[in-house]
Amino acid sequence: MAEHFTDEEIEDFKNAFQLLDREENGLIPFKKIGFLLRSVGENPTDSKMNEIINDLHDANGFVRGRWIDFTDFLLIMSEIRNEDEKNIIADVFRVFDKENTGIMKKDELRMVLEVLKDDVIQEDIPEMLADLDLDDNGDISFEELAAVMDFNKKSANAHESSSETGSSTQEAGTSN
């Protein structure tokens, strides 16, 4: 869960949380979640908050009570970030989906990528398009794009975790 955030973000979240933890017991009143979220730059609607909390309850056993701890808060922040990322992907997809069908043509995306010569390695375009067109029908659906983006994000997180573990192991090995 914390892999979604930088160390600096987690520190900012802790500081904001601790400001509301008046009893200094690691808990804040549930009714203060909205204030806490706004203090760290988020502004979800009440209905969005209820949706997130219901989803967390179903997926993680999150219990809506009178108090939340810092781990609960990180779960909420993680869910908000995931929702934000999905919205960004959907907005980008809509640019290519001119007919609002939920599908973009692989050839149209190829043309755009070819125009971005400096940002995209041209030899990588066929592989990128093949990766996005999971059912190999020449079209890229929003679901295919989201699935590939999610897979790439998980792969990058796994790679970062294994790199950190490897460097920790190496450091531990060299200190003998």
Q: What is the DSSP string of 87-155?
A: HHHHHHHHHH-TT-SSEEEHHHHHHHHHH-TTTS-GGGHHHHHHHH-TT-SSEEEHHHHHHHHHHHHHH
**Helix %, strand %, coil % of the chain (to 5):** 70, 5, 25
Classify residue 171: in a domain, yes or no: yes
What's the average model confidence in pLDDT over 65-77? 85
Q: Does the pTM exceed 0.85?
A: no
Query: In the prediction, which pLDDT does 164 show?
Result: 54
Alpha-carbon Rg for the chain in angstroms: 21
| End position of a domain, from candidates 82, 110, 125 | 82
The larger pLDDT score, comparing residue 152 to residue 124, is at 124
Asked if residues 42 and 81 have their Cβ atoms less than 8 Å apart, the reply is no
| End position of a domain, from candidates 59, 82, 105 | 82
Classify residue 26: in a domain, yes or no: yes
User: Which tokens sit at 176?
Assistant: 């003998």
Instruction: Identify the CATH number of the domain in which residue 157 sits.
Output: 1.10.238.10
108 and 70 belong to one structural domain: no
Rounded to whole angstroms, the Cα distance separating 154 from 91 reads 21
The amino acid sitting at 163 is: S
48 and 2 belong to one structural domain: yes
Note down the domain range covering 36. 1-82
What's the average model confidence in pLDDT over 65-70? 81
Query: In the prediction, which pLDDT does 84 show?
Result: 76
> What tens digit of pLDDT does each residue of 140-164 get?
888 877 777 665 555 555 555 555 5
Rounded to whole angstroms, the Cα distance separating 125 from 2 reads 33
Looking up tokens 């997809």 gives 93
> What tens digit of pLDDT does each residue of 7-62 get?
999 999 999 999 999 999 999 887 888 889 999 998 888 888 777 777 666 555 55
Domain count of the chain?
Answer: 2
